[in-house]
Amino acid sequence: MIVLLVLLIIVIVIIWLCIKQIKRNMQQYHRTLAEEIAFELNSQNSSKRKRNNGWRYRSEIMGTAPVSLPDAEPLVIPAGDYEQRVYTYDGRPLKGTRKGSRFTLDVVPGYQTMVSVYTGTEWSSYASVAYKNHLIGHIGDGLYKERIQMLMLKYPYVRVHARRDGTDAGGWPYITLTLPPLSWFDSVIEG
């Protein structure tokens, strides 16, 4: 019985606060009760919001320019059990991928500079990666990055297998390269 009485008091207080706010709005904007109700009904967005799929950008940024890759055949590094992180600076080209998706990325030859669509910071790298001819980020530091850069000196460009491991709360895609053991790289570099 007491719980019911407390709930009734809470409901009455909420209704009283709403009425008070409506009266304040009517006085401030010189509207009648009917005009205020019509204004509130029209101000609510009845159309569905466009789903953002978790892609949050720091500001409006123009679409990325396609990367030009050499016409020659790439060296395709086979998929393996070893992993190397990719630092994603523009996830928009990856929009069609989902957690667990597997795809290939092209390691773009030359020195690439790009601005992060998430933070606005600029980065440059000799180990930039592209998805469907659009830059998305660069390979993280480590032994695999060094080996891939050595292969870039021998071949026009390199293609690697990758996996999407999800998206963080800020909309950054987690991308991981799946690579063979270092011995495979050493044999290709020497041979």
Report pLDDT digits (tens) over 9-32.
Answer: 999 999 998 888 888 877 877 778
Instruction: Find the length of the chain.
Output: 191
Instruction: Read off the amino acid at residue 128.
Output: S
Decide if 56 contacts 171 (C-beta within 8 A): yes
Domain map (residue ranges) of the chain: 75-190
* Residue with the larger pLDDT of the pair 183 and 31: 183
- 83 — pLDDT class (breaks 50, 70, 90): very high
Report pLDDT digits (tens) over 115-149.
Answer: 877 777 888 888 899 998 888 889 988 889 999 99
When pLDDT is averaged across residues 40-46 and rounded to a whole number, the result is 63
- 45 — pLDDT class (breaks 50, 70, 90): low
pLDDT of 61: 43
CA distances from 136 to 74, 104, 117 (A): 19, 12, 10
Q: Which alpha helices (H) appear in the chain, and where do they start and end?
A: 2-29, 33-43, 143-154, 182-190
Helices (H) and strands (E) in the chain, counts: 4, 9
Please check the confidence at residue 183 and state whether its pLDDT lies above 70: yes
| pTM exceeds 0.85 | no
